[in-house]
Structure formats: C-alpha cells, structure tokens
Amino acid sequence: MTELKDQIDRSKLPNHVAIIMDGNGRWARERGSHRIFGHQNGITAVRETVEGAGELGIKYLTLFAFSKENWCRPKEEINSLMSLMISTINSETETLIKNNVRLLIIGDMQSLPDHIRNKLNEVVDITGSNKGLTLVIALSYGARWEIADAARRIAEDVAEGKIKKDAIDEAAFSEYLVTRHIPDPELLIRTSGEYRISNFLLWQIAYTELYFSPALWPDFRKEHLYTAIIEFQKRERRFGKTSEQLNCD
Ligand code: FPP
C-alpha cells in the first residue's frame, strides 16, 4: 500500500493549515489522570505536527494554544499551561532555528504576564528572519476580541483622520487584524471529534475547508495531518462560484 505521505500531491499543498488542538482533558481523564497530564502529552503532538508540516513544505501552521475564554479555567491549570508553553518554547528554540522555523504569536499579548510576553517576543525576534515554516501560536486569542479590537482602532484612526470612513473595505479592515501579515488558512483541523469553531479566526476562515479529526490532541501524529491534507486535496474549493465558473475572476 502507498504510504499516506506519498498520497499527498505536493503541488496542491494548503499554504496555511490552522489547528484547534482539542481533547487534552479527555485524554488525561481516560487515563485517570489530571488535565495537565493531557496538556503535557499534547506537546508530543505539537512537535510531530510542526515537524510534519515543515517536512511537507507547508508555509504557515497556526496552533490555537490558549483562548481568551481559557482564562476562566482553574488558576492551577492556567499556570501549568503557561509554564508548559514557555518551557517548550525555551527548549525548542534551537530546533526552531536549525529548521528555519519563524515563530509568530497572535492574540491579546497585553493580557499575558510580563515574563511570558518578554520571552515570546525574544523568540519571535530571534527567529524573525527564518524563511521556512511560519509557526503561528494563538495565545490569549479570541476572534470576537480581535474583530472588536480592529473596529475600535479603525474608529480611532478615522477620528484622527488617518483613514477615511469610505476607505474601509474588506482589505483595509484585514490590515487591523492580528493576522495582517498572515494569509488566510486553506485548511482548518479540529481534533477530538467536536464540530465547533470556538471563536477561532472567524474573519479569516470565510472560505477555509474544515476537517474534523476524531483523534484526541495528544494522540495526533503526522499521519493524522497527512490524512487531513489528503481529504483537503479531494475537495473542490469554489469560493461561492459554480464548478463551471471557477476560472472566472
Ligand atoms: C484543549 O484541550 C487544549 C488546550 C486548551 C491547550 C493546548 C495547548 C497545548 C497542547 C500546549 C501548546 C504548546 C505550544 C508551545 C504551542 P482541552 O483541555 O479543552 O480538552 P478537553 O476538551 O478534552 O477538556
């Protein structure tokens, strides 16, 4: 049988894959363990996915690591998750550099503790000129927050005469989003068999293909990524047009 990886058409790769990593808590519960054990094991899945995406030549990979709503979780879980993310980024910085990975963070950076924000900014700077995979980590991110924040900043710029009200179209609005330098995802994967978007990239996924994997995030491996991409490549993306109209502008 052909290997899954060989079934992928390298000329039709999604440029940007976004992932809602879900199911860490359930994975831990199934093992009679604490939720944080699930998050710890989720790191293996993060490594595999970053490596898999990089090897394929995918340009952008966005991982939803912590939502604005996640601040409501128990303090102990939040602290453990933050420590886990920082220790992972610390221990993986050399690997990111070696593999030409550029790190970007999207989200409400002001809501993060200073030492975490500073560390993240440091690694974003160090990897800033890397030309391989761009790894985008969504941290303290919520799409409604992002859109409301953009609207507020546009209103400020209109009031200050920096932009004219009539110049606000879709492209101009996009420039105020945290993803302004990042193309929209072509493929969004959510793990753990849940069929929700959970306030992730609502503006950016207007035409994104959605793929729901039954795997709990700590079990997610390169093969799951390959399966999602193979499924993506079987679909016809019509952007609101009919099949016959696909070649018209
Ligand atoms: C969702 O599972 C997962 C999270 C809220 C955290 C995911 C974060 C990581 C795996 C760490 C990422 C680290 C880096 C460096 C990118 P859940 O707890 O909601 O699971 P449940 O739905 O089964 O309860």
Where are the domains positioned within the chain?
2-142+183-248
Average per-residue pLDDT in the chain? 96
Percent of the chain with pLDDT over 70: 98
Give the burial class of 21: count Cβ atoms within 10 A of its Cβ; 0-12 exposed, 13-18 middle, 19 or more buried.
buried
Q: CA triplet 106, 108, 114: central angle to 5 degrees?
A: 105
Predicted pLDDT of residue 247:
72
| Cα 65 to ligand 1 centroid, rounded to whole Å | 6
- pLDDT of amino acid 240: 76
Q: What is the pLDDT of residue 237?
A: 67
For atom 14 of ligand 1, which residue has the closest CA? Answer: 85
Candidates 3.40.50.720, 3.40.1180.10, 2.30.30.100, 3.40.1380.20; CATH matching 2-142+183-248 = 3.40.1180.10
Angstrom distance (rounded) from CA 125 to CA 209: 31
Residues known to be catalytic: 22, 70
Q: Which of 20, 24, 69, 134 to mutate to test the pocket of ligand 1 (most atoms within 8 A of CB)?
A: 24
Section 10-30 average pLDDT = 98
Q: How confident is the model at residue 199 (pLDDT cuts 50, 70, 90)?
A: very high
Q: Which two tokens stand for residue 95?
A: 């690997």
Residue 131: pLDDT band (50, 70, 90) is very high
Tokens of 74: 């128990």
- Nearest atom of ligand 1 to the alpha carbon of 194: 22
User: What pLDDT does 1 receive?
Assistant: 56
Q: pLDDT per residue over 42-99, tens digit each?
A: 999 999 999 999 999 999 999 999 999 999 999 999 999 999 999 999 999 999 999 9
C-alpha dihedral, 214 to 219 to 224 to 225, nearest 10°: 110
Cβ neighbourhood burial of 174 (10 Å; 0-12, 13-18, 19+)? middle
d(CA 163, CA 151): 13
Q: What is the residue with the minimal CA distance to atom 12 of ligand 1?
A: 65
Q: How many helices (H) and strands (E) does the chain have?
A: 7, 6
Torsions phi, psi for 175 (to 5 deg): -65, -15
Single-letter residue type at 240:
G
Ligand 1, from 20, 22, 88: best to mutate by most atoms within 8 Å of Cβ?
22
- Residue 45 CA: nearest ligand 1 atom is 10
What's the pLDDT tens digit per position in 143-171? 999 999 999 999 999 999 999 999 999 99
pLDDT at residue 236 is higher than 80 = no
Higher pLDDT, 89 or 244: 89
- Average pLDDT of the residues in 28-38: 98
Using a 6 Å CB cutoff, which residues line ligand 1? 21-26, 35, 39, 42, 46, 63, 65, 70, 81, 84-85, 88-89, 137
Instruction: For ligand 1, pick from 29, 37, 39 the residue to mutate: most ligand atoms within 8 Å of CB.
Output: 39
Indicate which residue's Cα is closest to atom 8 of ligand 1.
Answer: 65
